[in-house]
Amino acid sequence: MTLTEFRGVYPAMTTPFHEDGSIDFETLRTDARRLADAGVDGLVPVGSTGESATLSHDEHIDVVEAVIDAVDVPVIAGSGSNNTAEALSLSRRSAEAGADALLLISPYYNKPEPQGMYEHYRTIADEVDLPQIVYNVPGRTGQNIDVDTAVDLAAHPNVLGYKAASGDLNQVSEVVERTRDKEFSVLAGDDGLVLPTLSVGGTGTISVVANIEPERTVDMVHSALDGDYEGARERHHELGPLMRALFWETNPIPVNEAMAIRGYGPGHVRLPLTRLSEELRPDLEAVLADLDPLEAEA
């Protein structure tokens, strides 16, 4: 399929592991189908939530291929790196695997200047003919993608989206404002700011909470996109306690634990991440217990 717009809900998938640290591909495929059946608009494997930093390159592509094989919705493969040549290799291999689009985290640790940031993304966009999303998450990378750079990149025909996870709504709003004349989608990357991002012209979210509550997240986002902000606010506040709980510790520790509590996955993470602190698990269970299955409300 050809993506020209990113609109709606795209869960940032977890990567399930067996206790020995190997990838649980059966659970991965089952989870991809569960999310697709819940009505999400696409899936994002091997991003930050998918622990891409601890996967080998071959494992990375194996996960992408497994998700593609399991579902008929668009698959946006995380393929970024702090090494431009490495990101280009992962992007090419993801394209060959059949990904519909790419999510590219900005170079972490290196802390490039704006020109280096631009050249990094331009190089990949020139070489890989797939829709690409620029991913700004300075809390993980140590470097913000400034608005001018984001706007310059939006002029490239393959750069069609921007995942905003800086926590700065003013910056998000300016990116939307300055790209309104382009085919360019701005997606919320902070669950708590999805609704505010939509209110200033964002088009959707790459979401952690959607792994646990896909139906509610889809209802929230599409209600807002359809102009029903009263309904969207109701869902936003229902999800608020879980959105906050999923960041009690470093993502994806809490969401993996929530997956285990709900019976969606084994809950294991790879070192240097560890399981959720034991004292927090009862609180997370309580938050989840307060969210009855959405289907039961019909």
Residues recognised as catalytic: 135, 163
Structure tokens that stand for 170 in this block:
């003013």
**Which amino acid would we find at residue 10?**
Y
d(CA 92, CA 221): 31
**Which amino acid would we find at residue 297?**
E
- The response to whether 197 counts as a known ligand-binding position is no
Strand order in the sheet with 8-11: 8-11, 204-207, 185-188, 159-164, 132-136, 101-105, 76-78
- The response to whether 49 counts as a known ligand-binding position is yes
Q: Residues at the annotated binding site?
A: 49, 206
Q: Residues at the annotated binding site for pyruvate?
A: 49, 206
